[in-house]
Structure 1
Amino acid sequence: MVAAGVAIAALIVGCGEVSGTAQPVSNELFDPCAVVPDEAIRAAGADPAVVSDSLIGERANQTSDVCIWAAETYYLTVLSSVESQGTVIDDPRYESRRMVELPGRPTAYELRRPDPIGTAPCDISFPWSRGMVIVNVESKASSAGVIDNCSRAISAASVLSPTLPR
């Protein structure tokens, strides 16, 4: 699962398995592993039982928190951050960015990063009251080059958005 989040690791990094309304944790972040219900993860196409709360051995930090779930051919990542959405949108590591429609989220962006290994990483970014959220979909290396993951990411973000803080 590490490969799925390596590219967003520069922004990143906790986890439990709890359903319900998102509640910010003491460092003003919300823990995606704790707030996204299993049924929403399944509806987004991933397996709630196959989960990781870290990237390359990283743990939660003061500016971001991450959770990664596996699907058959891709990884689904949700990142909460206290960074502003503008900071992410202006990040020069993204090679393209465009506004997308996401119900209940007036300023959502599709962000594409370079794809040197063929995993088609796609981030959907939208603000929450204390920063921004990224929903990322990235193919597993064994499925590289199979599909445009931005369609999957927008679909996943639409499913997960109602479970995430505003």
Structure 2
Amino acid sequence: MSRRITLVLLIGVLAAGVVGCGDTSSGTPTAGSSTTAAQALFNPCTGVPDEALRKAGVDPATEEKGIAGVDQSGWEICRWKGSRYSMTVFSTGRTVAEFEKKPGNVEFQDITVAGRDGRQFRVEGASKGLLCDVLFSAPQGVIQLRVSNLAGLDHHEDPCTTLYRVGESIVPVLPR
């Protein structure tokens, strides 16, 4: 019985905490509010046209929102598959500097894809040779383009080489 009461009280406190996170002030939300930042994120699932996806070598019908279909707070994520690789576009309010400080993100370098300056990096670990990521500054924070070689296949092209090619059709449709 006391566990049940404790559980009910804990749920009540947690619910109050979640409700307490909302902005109850009147007027226009400020640029720093989480509501505005979430609303301002570019949605790659709706913002990248099917024609650009096909040119990039991925199938629009394979679209997967979020990570394994699960939305991630503070992110808009969409992934598509091709015959040898998948491509993911991430949109977040984070900064390039935050990515550079994250342990496991390595080999940062300035690059240009489709005429747009970006910051390429790799993720340390077993998948390092399968992934390539490029960050592009955007009004809401960062747009991240990732190419992932499919692990079960032989004779992969370097994922960054693939990313540059894929980027020719994808990068022009991303917000600047």
Q: What are the ranges of 5 or more consecutive residues in structure 2 without an aligned counterpart? A: 1-35
Tell me how far apart the structure 2 counterparts of residues 101 and 35 of structure 1 sit (CA, whole Å). 21
From 128, 148, 165, give the equivalent of 1:155.
Answer: 165
1:71-95 deviation line (CA, Å, top 9, x unaligned)? 0011100001110122113322112
Tell me how far apart the structure 2 counterparts of residues 124 and 75 of structure 1 sit (CA, whole Å). 14
Structure 1 residue 38 corresponds to structure 2 residue 35: no
Who wins on radius of gyration, i.e. which is larger? Answer: 2
- Please say if residues 122 and 128 of structure 2, whose CA atoms lie closer than 8 Å, have aligned partners that are also in contact: no
Structure 1 runs (4+) greater than 4 angstroms displaced: none
Tell me how far apart the structure 2 counterparts of residues 122 and 87 of structure 1 sit (CA, whole Å). 18
Structure 1 residue 72 corresponds to structure 2 residue 72: no
Query: Counterparts in 2 of 1:83-102, with a 5 A limit?
Result: 83-102=94-113
Tell me how far apart the structure 2 counterparts of residues 56 and 38 of structure 1 sit (CA, whole Å). 21
The normalised TM-score by structure 1 is 0.76
SS at structure 2 position matched to 1:143: coil
* CA distance 1:109–1:26, shift in 2 (3 Å): closer
From 34, 39, 50, give the equivalent of 2:62.
Answer: 50
Query: Counterparts in 2 of 1:126-145, with a 5 A limit?
Result: 126-143=136-153
Matched residue, 1:114: 124
Matched residue, 2:9: none
Tell me how far apart the structure 2 counterparts of residues 86 and 31 of structure 1 sit (CA, whole Å). 22
> More deviation in 112-121 or 83-92?
112-121
* Higher RCO, 1 vs 2 (CA within 8 Å, ≥6 residues apart): 1
Q: CA deviation at 1:140?
A: 1.4
Amino acid at match of 2:84: T
Q: CA deviation at 1:97?
A: 1.0
Q: CA deviation at 1:118?
A: 6.8
* CA distance 1:142–1:87, shift in 2 (3 Å): same
Tell me how far apart the structure 1 counterparts of residues 103 and 37 of structure 2 sit (CA, whole Å). 30
* CA distance 1:115–1:72, shift in 2 (3 Å): farther
Tell me how far apart the structure 1 counterparts of residues 116 and 81 of structure 2 sit (CA, whole Å). 25
> More deviation in 64-73 or 117-126?
117-126
- Please say if residues 119 and 143 of structure 1, whose CA atoms lie closer than 8 Å, have aligned partners that are also in contact: no
The normalised TM-score by structure 2 is 0.72
Structure 1 residue 165 corresponds to structure 2 residue 149: no
Q: CA deviation at 1:112?
A: 0.8
User: What number of residue pairs does the alignment pair up?
Assistant: 141
Identity rate, percent? 27
